[in-house]
Structure 1
């Protein structure tokens, strides 16, 4: 594995030495090598989970999951950032793949937040033991509901990061008439969110980046295989060079 990674690194450094332009065939090999070099970080992050353990107090529970969510956010950002060096090569296939991987990194974090176990802390358990049957159920449901509300608030911006990256991947795919595994993943994941949620997330992306193109309802509807959808006026992907076969 060490020799393989060294060989991949040689491809990227060799491209730099040649001085060939971005978008060239040589840039395609370098982009693929760079992509493979960083892709292992995502596989490791797939295992990320939030584990509150057995908290003694409500405060300890909140503190633990908050700290782990923050750690997860840092990891997701690190994984996503690792793909950034792929973009300057301006090769559509690997640009799209990198956008999809970035979206996946944020979805892993979002999934982990939503799957956070709701654990009744020891101090609350003592209160529940003193309550009657109906009060216990009310207290438990109220606690779980409040935790889920907090988790939902935390997960929404993370989901929007994922939606924005998938949108960039889908738009780049259409611009280059690409229909491969990565473009299909991008469209499939976007469809899972639905028009209203996509519109919300792209509006957030626009608020952070004025160059981010607006959303048209139905923009990411799947087209028949091999027949790219028409790109609507005003919908522009990031600039990329044409892929050479």
Structure 2
């Protein structure tokens, strides 16, 4: 049985991926999020606020529990926030702290626990971090998002190096899904243009129908998970510029 532990399954990419993978009777999905939004026979919802680090530290091992019938286990670190949009000096310190807890600290703790629990277990293993083009390109007003996603990329790079040195049978990917039609993009388009000078680019993309759907991204993610032999690079970008 294939087990998929996916964070942030209440909406967007995480929800779409859980639904896509949940269509197969050979898969079991464990969704970790604050809200329950899926009704699938092979889906288990675990309510958790991943920005609550003390609670995560107390419960992380139980969040990642899978039965003995597992033949593969995949962790998808998807939950995240764009944080407060605005230039440094105008955003709150609290918003920076929250974004780093959700986007960096919690996936690192989950990945650390995943390795502790499964490194020596005889199952196929995969860790996928949902990154962003903002990890690899600077955008004004997105300091928390750019910095945290860059950190997530580096986490994946270190994990890949460590698993190679340990000769571990494991796949690691950091995937930028492109510009996706989610609530996060709605926040971007409604932000203050003075605090984010690239806003109009994203408004135009929405109006021109250039945003990817969460469902199309989920299908691509599943392809990476299920056919790793087709993907040699750790850093993957699904972004397809408009012609």
Greater strand fraction, Structure 1 or Structure 2? 2
> Is the shorter-chain TM-score for this pair beyond 0.5, marking a shared fold?
no
> What TM-score do the two structures reach when normalised by structure 2?
0.32
Q: Which has the larger radius of gyration?
A: 1
